[in-house]
Structure 1
């Protein structure tokens, strides 16, 4: 039996691993849905299709059904209310194409498409890992990504699986130095999630390393093509805010919409310190931030982290800098960490022990249950609302 499995093509191995993870997540989602009380999205004990359409899935469905508002909705105080402009258009547009072609509507087309994107992402992630590691190590790293505590989001009508697929393809093209081929991928990726800025940061750092005579890209032609991709990523990051401006007539329509969820203006870097201080106090809060930053730096600079190679390392650095500057830490932060998937390979390479790797995958699976039951399931807080996933 083992010999037969070993003889299967690489893509079958990956699909089996990823399929097992999605089956596990489906069981978890169904089990938790049976304990779900009546919510803003439906009755108690909703079906699987109803349960996966909680939270931001509803916003994507609004875009699928009716597009974006041409006038920003405002409250009695004049501030912009939460609205569709916070959500990028590529995923609902893809679902609309599928639903029109099949006549299925948002349900079940959205969940099916999100799941398919996740399977494609897994194949691309494996190919990325194989550029830097052996096949067994790459399979273990794919398993870590597939069982990541927030991985149920990859089969839920969110843009995460589409973004992960495009991000993996873009990183693969960068690693193989096909920078011009990556141009349309980066543009599409920037219409799925706000990924243009961190991708431009990572490419900019890679370009700087190349100009200094380090790294694999050193030729003038290669540096020019890499620079063109970095500029494209930066410009692509402006595309959606510009679209919101053109459609609504308000230059800061996108920023106003994003800050509607925060309840405060945008301040670079400060929210992390404020939240850490509120949770842990004025001494432990900053120390916790330093400890987390130190742990991430250690992982990226560990032997496993160095195995990733500069493109993956610098993508992680760029994305972490982006989160530090712009992200407002909250319970959704766990979901936002998924694009740091290259760290799964670094984590796998910390030890060749089969027991360590099995324990890591099993631990992630257990944390999936926590994530779904704590954050995806809805339970009103005493002050109203709930912790968002």
Structure 2
């Protein structure tokens, strides 16, 4: 009987391999979200007393908690004109910590369809998650074979925090826009990326690392352009594979990922860098314009961490809390060194300069500004290109299948430990 089941699975897999790529990716993503939904529903059965609803809630109530309530608040009531403060003048939690694009789309969908705001936000999150999976596959396909790109997309779809892609959070919208922007950068369509990046900067705070990535990429491609120009001046001829040849030898300055940029492409990349930088400042600027406080956004954002924004310091504070006064100080340096080694590994180098730079800049951004806590796991989602690197480690189906199974098991841990509410002895709970 077991042999018959295996044969049936093999036959179904062989048939699915002939489906169009978008059907394969869409089916894979929908299946992943169904598994996550089952985990949510099972966890909801054990949900006790909590700040939002009675015990043992239904699925829709269970996924509309935590930050989902803040997005619903923005959808219904917008943003405050004056920052709320306590008696001592300290800024309190408020909606300015949550970017506007996601709740604005929710308001449009709710107005057009008549759906309840919570349902409209959930619908947008689910559709954007599916769109993100399709775009991620197309991005991965530029770097790997169909099978590896599909497995990489499967890793993203089943990642331990991937359930957040089907709840009313802005992660799925931001992931869609980020993947689209990176795809346009990889294919050198920099001007097309401009509106995508602007929207991305209004969905979640990914504008700063994207601007840093674009700037470093401009410097890299500018150097290659300069090297190629000098080679032409010495009488060398362009090589179709990228770079210049003279007696068939690839010069040291030739790019590995294709022909050098043209002057027009460099100017377009410079424009993208400038727009990305301005886009990163757009939401703090809007908060300033509305409230009259130049630090409205940063004051609001730091309310949740309980102290002012001091670059790098929270990582050392957390390290000392977890590992003691000596090892805790060393922990951030060890983490940064290990991540650097990861970026230099063969599978990550196979991603290409653009995706390597994005991962480096985003992690640098987290080290600079993030307060590490349980929400940090969710903040790692924009590092999704590393999923393709993980798929490229081995072509073994056993290895790749084991990764997916482990990710699904870790989804159970994430939902039960962080999404479900279980009050701590001192009050509150760890945020997802």
1:75 equivalenced with 2:86 (yes/no): yes
Q: CA deviation at 1:270?
A: 1.3
Once residues 287 and 133 of structure 1 are traced to their aligned partners in structure 2, the CA distance between those partners, rounded to angstroms, is: 37
Q: CA deviation at 1:300?
A: 1.9
Alignment of 1:46-65 (within 5 A): 46-65=57-76
Task: Give yes or no for contact 1:300–1:343 (8 Å, CA) kept in 2.
Answer: no
1:342 equivalenced with 2:385 (yes/no): yes
Q: 1:315 aligns with which of 331, 350, 358?
A: 358
Stretches of structure 1 that go unaligned for 5 or more consecutive residues are none
Q: CA deviation at 1:4?
A: 2.1
Once residues 330 and 4 of structure 1 are traced to their aligned partners in structure 2, the CA distance between those partners, rounded to angstroms, is: 44
Structure 2 counterpart of 1:327: 370
Structure 2 counterpart of 1:87: 98
Once residues 148 and 334 of structure 2 are traced to their aligned partners in structure 1, the CA distance between those partners, rounded to angstroms, is: 28
Task: Give yes or no for contact 1:95–1:110 (8 Å, CA) kept in 2.
Answer: yes
Deviates more, 1:331-340 or 1:276-285: 276-285
Stretches of structure 2 that go unaligned for 5 or more consecutive residues are 1-10, 225-252
Q: CA deviation at 1:96?
A: 0.8
Structure 2 counterpart of 1:99: 110
Partner of 1:261, secondary structure, is coil
Task: Give yes or no for contact 2:314–2:372 (8 Å, CA) kept in 1.
Answer: yes
Partner of 1:250, secondary structure, is coil
Once residues 96 and 320 of structure 1 are traced to their aligned partners in structure 2, the CA distance between those partners, rounded to angstroms, is: 33
Structure 1 counterpart of 2:133: 122
Q: CA deviation at 1:218?
A: 3.1
Spell out, residue by residue over 1:20-74, the C-alpha distance to the aligned partner (whole angstroms, 9 max, x if none).
1100100000000111112111110111111111100000000000100001000
Q: Between Structure 1 and Structure 2, whose CA radius of gyration is higher? A: 2
1:8 equivalenced with 2:19 (yes/no): yes
- The TM-score, its normalising length taken from structure 1, stands at 0.98
Task: Give yes or no for contact 2:72–2:118 (8 Å, CA) kept in 1.
Answer: no
Deviates more, 1:346-355 or 1:126-135: 346-355
Structure 2 counterpart of 1:202: 213
Q: CA deviation at 1:262?
A: 1.2
Q: 2:402 aligns with which of 347, 353, 359?
A: 359
Q: CA deviation at 1:287?
A: 3.8
Change (3 A) 1:3 1:331: closer
Once residues 271 and 211 of structure 1 are traced to their aligned partners in structure 2, the CA distance between those partners, rounded to angstroms, is: 36
1:289 equivalenced with 2:300 (yes/no): no
Once residues 284 and 353 of structure 1 are traced to their aligned partners in structure 2, the CA distance between those partners, rounded to angstroms, is: 38
Structure 2 counterpart of 1:18: 29
Q: CA deviation at 1:297?
A: 2.0
Alignment of 1:32-43 (within 5 A): 32-43=43-54
Q: CA deviation at 1:75?
A: 0.8
Aligned residues: CA RMSD = 1.1
Structure 2 counterpart of 1:154: 165
Once residues 317 and 183 of structure 1 are traced to their aligned partners in structure 2, the CA distance between those partners, rounded to angstroms, is: 21
Partner of 1:282, secondary structure, is coil
Structure 2 counterpart of 1:112: 123
Once residues 358 and 291 of structure 1 are traced to their aligned partners in structure 2, the CA distance between those partners, rounded to angstroms, is: 30
Once residues 262 and 97 of structure 2 are traced to their aligned partners in structure 1, the CA distance between those partners, rounded to angstroms, is: 40
Task: Give yes or no for contact 1:170–1:185 (8 Å, CA) kept in 2.
Answer: yes
1:266 equivalenced with 2:277 (yes/no): no
Q: CA deviation at 1:283?
A: 2.8
Task: Give yes or no for contact 2:316–2:331 (8 Å, CA) kept in 1.
Answer: no
- The TM-score, its normalising length taken from structure 2, stands at 0.88
Q: 1:249 aligns with which of 292, 314, 328?
A: 292
Alignment of 1:150-229 (within 5 A): 150-213=161-224, 215=255, 216=258, 217-229=260-272
